[in-house]
């Protein structure tokens, strides 16, 4: 397989900078996946915000949008693909068949999957990809993490209710959702033990999960970029402090 041009048409370059001819920043190498693929953090600097793509390898829309950030002029720290093995294998899980969004070391982590689709792994943070994410959050000092996914419907899930969020934060999210015509939710509607949201709540982080529309064409994702960059730049200036 030629890693410089993935055979899946909707799939961008995963473990390296994107294939189009534009300069990209030099990344900080966080480690390797189970199969030895690079896990890279771009624009590594102290920042209130960290953007994450590709926790689920079959959700290529988020991976693509995260890669667009590398040449967008936005300097918010970003991991374009935390699960390169899953992306290359076109599967939700990593090479060990662990759902990385059930493997975070949160107090509600459970050793038994509630559903076969969500295997949590043998222990919290058992996977190198999970440990790389936790390291990146600490490295940049992020107080907010925005994770890009895709789903049959598109929305932004904010893990805390509006009354627990700063007014400037609510205004920025509301402006974005109105601009692109999506809704804000507080929950996906079912328990997610060991997920990033649960980890965030336990560690005083604000977590946003952006569910892009599954199967969205590249043109639609490009169209999201200007308002999305505006949202990220605003969130990067807003340190989150959980309510007392």
- What the chain holds in terms of domains, given with CATH numbers, is 29-236 (3.40.630.10)
Each residue of 8-39: pLDDT tens digit?
334 444 444 444 556 778 899 999 999 999 99
Tell me what pLDDT residue 189 has.
78
Q: H/E element holding 89?
A: helix 84-89
Specify the higher pLDDT residue, 187 or 95: 95
* Mean pLDDT value of segment 33-52: 96
Q: pTM for this one?
A: 0.91
* Mean pLDDT value of segment 190-197: 92
Rounded-to-integer distance, Cα 82 and Cα 53, Å: 6
Please check the confidence at residue 142 and state whether its pLDDT lies above 90: yes
Check: CB of residue 59 under 8 Å from CB of residue 149: yes
* Residue 202 DSSP code: H
Edge-to-edge order in the sheet of strand 206-213: 78-79, 49-53, 144-151, 206-213, 155-158, 183-185
Rounded-to-integer distance, Cα 147 and Cα 149, Å: 7
* Mean pLDDT value of segment 167-193: 94
The dihedral sign for the CA sequence 211, 193, 14, 237: positive
Tell me what pLDDT residue 24 has.
74
């Amino acid at each position: 397989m030629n890693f410089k041009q993935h055979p899946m048409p909707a799939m961008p370059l995963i473990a390296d900078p994107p294939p189009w001819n534009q300069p990209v920043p030099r990344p900080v190498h966080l480690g390797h996946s189970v199969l030895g693929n690079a896990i890279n953090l771009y624009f590594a600097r102290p920042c209130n915000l960290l953007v994450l793509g590709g926790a689920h390898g079959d959700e290529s829309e988020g991976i693509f949008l995260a890669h667009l950030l590398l040449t967008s002029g936005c300097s918010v720290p970003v991991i374009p693909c935390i699960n390169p093995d899953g992306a290359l294998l076109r599967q939700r899980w990593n090479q060990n068949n662990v759902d990385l969004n059930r493997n975070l070391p949160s107090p509600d982590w459970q050793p038994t999957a509630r559903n076969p689709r969500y295997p949590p792994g043998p222990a919290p943070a058992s996977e190198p990809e999970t440990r790389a994410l936790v390291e990146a959050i600490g490295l940049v000092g992020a107080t907010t993490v925005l994770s890009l996914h895709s789903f049959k419907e598109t929305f932004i899930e904010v893990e805390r209710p509006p009354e627990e969020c700063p007014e400037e934060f609510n205004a920025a999210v509301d402006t974005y959702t109105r601009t692109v015509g999506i809704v804000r939710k507080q929950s996906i509607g079912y328990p997610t033990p060991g997920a990033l949201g649960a980890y965030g709540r336990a560690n005083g982080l604000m977590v946003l999960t952006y569910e892009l529309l599954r199967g969205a064409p590249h043109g639609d994702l490009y169209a999201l970029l200007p308002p999305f960059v505006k949202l990220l730049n605003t969130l990067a200036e807003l340190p989150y402090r959980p309510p007392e």
